[in-house]
C-alpha cells in the first residue's frame, strides 16, 4: 500500500488499539477535523452526562447536603486519579484554582523558603503568562530578585548548557514549562531537576502541555513542585480547575501566601487564627468550583483506562506519520518544521511554520474552503500548531488536514482572508 495515499491512513486507523475512544467524544460535525486538543480538549460524552447529573441531582436535589456527600473531598479525590499520570503519589497533588494562581502560590512559597537567594531562572520559550507572574513576584518581593531567562538558539528548544549557565549558586527557583507551548520542545525533567538541585535551586514544572500527553515522572525526577491545567489534554472544559503538586517532604515546610479557609486545618471550626491543614490540602485557598471539578473525572477515567504509555506511543506514531507527510507535501511549498525532530524532545503537538501561517489557519477553519473544516491554532509569528490528542485524533484526520493545508498553500487560498488578527488566535 502506498504511504502517501488516504488508503494508508485508513489502514493505520484500523490497526489502532485506542480507536474506540474516539467515539466517546461529542462529534456533531462529520466534516470537522479537530487538531487543537493541545489548547482546548474536546467534550467527552460522559462529561456532558456527568455535569447534568451534578447539576440536577447533587445541586438541584441534594443542595448543600452534597458538601458532606462528596463535594468537600472532591478536589483530593480527583487529584488522586490524576496523580499516576504525572508520576506522583495521591497525597502530593490537589485540584485548585487556575494554573496562573498555582504558579503564584508555589513560586512565592519557594522564594520565601529560599530567602537570601536572589535569582529566578526560566527560559524565553516559557508561556508568557508564567513570565509575567514571575515579574510580578519580583516586584512583590521588593525588586530583590533577578529574573534570568535562558535563551533559545533556534527558537525551538533550550540546551541544558544554556540553563546551566543561568543557574548559579544564588538561584532560588528554576521554573520551566516541561513542554513548550509553541514549539512542543520537551525537557528531560530528571536531568534538569538534578542540575538545579546541585546548585541548590528548587524546581517548579509547568505541566500544562504535558499532562495527559506524555508520561510525566515527578517522583522519579525528584521534582519539588509542579502545576498544570486540565482543559487541554485532560478535556476538562474551558477554564477548568487546575492542579498543583508539592513533593511530600516539602509540604509542611512551604507556606502558601494565600491563607483561605479551604487550606485551614478545620475550616468549620471558624476560629480566627489560621492554622494550615495537614499535607497538600494547605495549598487550597477558597471554595473549589464544583462543576468544573466534576467535569474532569470522566476524561481522567478514559486516560487511565487507555494508559498513558499507550497514549504516548500512539502520539509518537502519529507525529512520525505527520512529519513524514509534512516533509513530502508541505516542505516543498515553503513550510518549515517548528518542532524538534527528536522524539524524546517533543510533546504531543507538532508546529509547522510559514510566513502566511495566520491566514492559512483562517482558511483551514473556514468551512467553505474545502471539503473539511480543520481547526489547528496559530501562534505568533508564523506557527501553526497541529495538536495530536491520541484519545481522539485519527490517522485520517492527520492525512486530510495535511492535504487541506497543501491545497490552501498551493492555490494561495489564504489570499481571501484578512491579515487582521482576531482577539483569540
Ligand X SMILES: Cc1ncc(COP(=O)(O)O)c(C=O)c1O
Where does this chain bind ligand X (CB under 6 A)? Answer: 98-100, 127, 129-130, 177, 181, 206, 208-209, 229, 242
Where does residue 188 rank: exposed (0-12), middle (13-18), buried (19+ CB within 10 A)?
middle
Minimum gap (Å) between residue 68 Cβ and ligand X: 30
Give the C-alpha separation, 283 to 159, whole Å: 33
Q: Which is nearer to ligand X, 239 or 355 (CB)?
A: 239
Give the C-alpha separation, 108 to 276, whole Å: 16
Minimum gap (Å) between residue 166 Cβ and ligand X: 19
Q: Which is nearer to ligand X, 127 or 283 (CB)?
A: 127
Residues with a catalytic annotation lie at: 127, 206, 231-232, 385
Cβ neighbours for 355, distance < 8 A, ≥ 6 positions apart: 334, 382
Q: Which is nearer to ligand X, 208 or 369 (CB)?
A: 208
**How far, in Å, are 17, 71, 333, 372 from residue 399 at the CA level?**
19, 44, 17, 12
Minimum gap (Å) between residue 129 Cβ and ligand X: 5
Q: Which residue is nearest to ligand X (CB)?
A: 100
Give the C-alpha separation, 343 to 338, whole Å: 13
Minimum gap (Å) between residue 227 Cβ and ligand X: 8
Minimum gap (Å) between residue 101 Cβ and ligand X: 7
Q: Which is nearer to ligand X, 212 or 370 (CB)?
A: 212
Q: Which is nearer to ligand X, 378 or 414 (CB)?
A: 378
Chain-centroid distance, C-alpha 266: 33
Nearest-5° angle of CA 206, CA 319, CA 422? 65
Minimum gap (Å) between residue 328 Cβ and ligand X: 31
Minimum gap (Å) between residue 18 Cβ and ligand X: 25
Q: Pull the grid cell for residue 250.
A: 516539602
Instruction: Encode 11-46: b = buried (16+ Cβ within 10 Å), e = exposed.
Output: ebbeebebeebbebbeeeeeeebbbbbbbbbbbbee
Amino acid at each position: 500500500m502506498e504511504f502517501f495515499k488516504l488508503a494508508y491512513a485508513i489502514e493505520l486507523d484500523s490497526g489502532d488499539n485506542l480507536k474506540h475512544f474516539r467515539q466517546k467524544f461529542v462529534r456533531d460535525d462529520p466534516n470537522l477535523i479537530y487538531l487543537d486538543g493541545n489548547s482546548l480538549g474536546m467534550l467527552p460524552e460522559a462529561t456532558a452526562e456527568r455535569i447534568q447529573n451534578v447539576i440536577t441531582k447533587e445541586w438541584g436535589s441534594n443542595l448543600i447536603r452534597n458538601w458532606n456527600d462528596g463535594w468537600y473531598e472532591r478536589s483530593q479525590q480527583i487529584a488522586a486519579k490524576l496523580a499516576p499520570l504525572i508520576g506522583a503519589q495521591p497525597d502530593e497533588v490537589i485540584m485548585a484554582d487556575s494554573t496562573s494562581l498555582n504558579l503564584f502560590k508555589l513560586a512565592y512559597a519557594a522564594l520565601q523558603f529560599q530567602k537570601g537567594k536572589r535569582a529566578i531562572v526560566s527560559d524565553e520559550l516559557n508561556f508568557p503568562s508564567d513570565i509575567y507572574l514571575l515579574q510580578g513576584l519580583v516586584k512583590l518581593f521588593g525588586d530583590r530578585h533577578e529574573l534570568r531567562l535562558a535563551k533559545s538558539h533556534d527558537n525551538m528548544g533550550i540546551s541544558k548548557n544554556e540553563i546551566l549557565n543561568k543557574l548559579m549558586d544564588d538561584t532560588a527557583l528554576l521554573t520551566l514549562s516541561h513542554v513548550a507551548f509553541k514549539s512542543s520542545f520537551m525537557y528531560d525533567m530528571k536531568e534538569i531537576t538534578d542540575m538545579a538541585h546541585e546548585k541548590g535551586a528548587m524546581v517548579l514544572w509547568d505541566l500544562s502541555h504535558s499532562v495527559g500527553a506524555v508520561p510525566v515522572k515527578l517522583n522519579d525526577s525528584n521534582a519539588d513542585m509542579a502545576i498544570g491545567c486540565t482543559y487541554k489534554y485532560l478535556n476538562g472544559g474551558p477554564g477548568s480547575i487546575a492542579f498543583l503538586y508539592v513533593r511530600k517532604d516539602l509540604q509542611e515546610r512551604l507556606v502558601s501566601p494565600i491563607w483561605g479557609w479551604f487550606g485551614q486545618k478545620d475550616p468549620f471550626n471558624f476560629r480566627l487564627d489560621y492554622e494550615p491543614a495537614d499535607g497538600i490540602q494547605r495549598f487550597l485557598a477558597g471554595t473549589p468550583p464544583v462543576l468544573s471539578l466534576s467535569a474532569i473525572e470522566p476524561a481522567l477515567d478514559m486516560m487511565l483506562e487507555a494508559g498513558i504509555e499507550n497514549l504516548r506511543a500512539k502520539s509518537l506514531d502519529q507525529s512520525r506519520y505527520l512529519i513524514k507527510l509534512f516533509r513530502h507535501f508541505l516542505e516543498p511549498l515553503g513550510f518549515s518544521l517548528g518542532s524538534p525532530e527528536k522524539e524524546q524532545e517533543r510533546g504531543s503537538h507538532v508546529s509547522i511554520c510559514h510566513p502566511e501561517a495566520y491566514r492559512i489557519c483562517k482558511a483551514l477553519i473556514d468551512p467553505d474552503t474545502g471539503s473539511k473544516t480543520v481547526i489547528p491554532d496559530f501562534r505568533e509569528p508564523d506557527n501553526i500548531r497541529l495538536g495530536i490528542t491520541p484519545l481522539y485524533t485519527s490517522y485520517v484526520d492527520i492525512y486530510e488536514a495535511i492535504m487541506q493545508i497543501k491545497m490552501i498553500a498551493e492555490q494561495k487560498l489564504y489570499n481571501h482572508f484578512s491579515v487582521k488578527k482576531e482577539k483569540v488566535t
